[in-house]
Amino acid sequence: MDTLFDFYRDGGTALIVLVFASFGVAGLVKGVIGLGLPTVSIALLSVAMAPPQAAALLIIPSMVTNVWQLAAGGRFLYLLRRLWTMLAGIAIGTWLAGLWLAGRETAWAGHALGAALLIYAAIGLSAVRLNVPLRVQGWAGPVVGATTGAITSATGVFVIPAVPYLQALGLDRNELVQAMGLAFTASTIALAGDLIHGGQLGGREAWASLLALVPALAGMMAGQWLRHRVSATTFRRILFIGIGALGVHLLLAG
């Protein structure tokens, strides 16, 4: 039990409450709309800790919930064949960005996270619907993947530009949910390797991440229950306004 709470010892009860609340809210969001666990949890945690530290707590809740999401749909092999170049780009982009960032000053990461959240919120609130023609997907996939990987390495958030790109591929709803689960799983694995290599994910962080799985799963189950009782449009609007507000705060405060 001592090992399980080692990470939280310095921050005390306040840190435990923050982590549980952050992952509970993030799990709720993911349960309702199928994404948002890393974005919401890291955004909330980043008001009290550096993005790499918040990203370390994300690993186990993200992996478990994304595999859960990925397992549903029955289109895994089809999506893997279609998206493998993007997934490879995610791994390569995360790795190269991690090597470049190693040992460098990362105080700007909070501002970068704020900018990423603002872009994400603007896309979510806009009526713009992107479309990626089949003829350009061969080169666009790896570019989107590498860009997503670089942003993931710097901020711990792996929705930009992967999610808008996936939404622009013309997938049906179930395929889109499963495709996001596939992309998020690849990003989580790549991020975990990046953090381990950089010394930011060790035993105490892994145990803390395992503990964060509890509120994440509880929130996700509550979100799945709520999905059938609240307008998804209203919920998404409130969510993206909140994410935008957090983005402004981090962009200004870092």
239, 39 Cβ separation under 8 angstroms: no
Render pLDDT for 32-91 as a digit per residue (tens, 0 to 9): 777 778 878 887 887 778 777 888 899 999 999 888 877 766 788 899 999 999 999 999
The pLDDT-based confidence of 14 (bands split at 50, 70, 90) is confident
Distance CA 25, CA 18 (A): 11
pLDDT at 230 over 80: no
Render pLDDT for 105-143 as a digit per residue (tens, 0 to 9): 556 666 777 787 788 788 778 776 778 888 888 899 999
Range from 96-105, 173-182, 228-237 that averages highest in pLDDT: 173-182
Distance CA 125, CA 140 (A): 24
| Alpha-carbon radius of gyration of the chain | 17
Opening angle at CA 167, ends 126 and 191, nearest 5: 105
Distance CA 169, CA 172 (A): 9
The residue among 92, 151, 90 whose CA lies nearest residue 119 is: 151
177, 168 Cβ separation under 8 angstroms: no
Segment 170-197 mean pLDDT: 87
> Which pLDDT score, from 0 to 100, does residue 40 have?
84
pLDDT at 11 over 70: no
pLDDT at 214 over 80: yes
Q: What are phi and psi of 48, to 5 degrees?
A: -125, -10
The residue among 149, 160, 254 whose CA lies nearest residue 194 is: 149
Render pLDDT for 91-101 as a digit per residue (tens, 0 to 9): 999 999 888 87
When mean pLDDT is compared across 14-18, 59-63, 201-205, the lowest value belongs to 201-205
pLDDT at 217 over 90: yes
> Which pLDDT score, from 0 to 100, does residue 232 have?
67
> Which pLDDT score, from 0 to 100, does residue 238 have?
75
Positive or negative, the CA dihedral 59, 65, 71, 77 is negative
Residue 48 Ramachandran class (φ > 0 left, ψ -120 to 50 alpha, else beta) = alpha
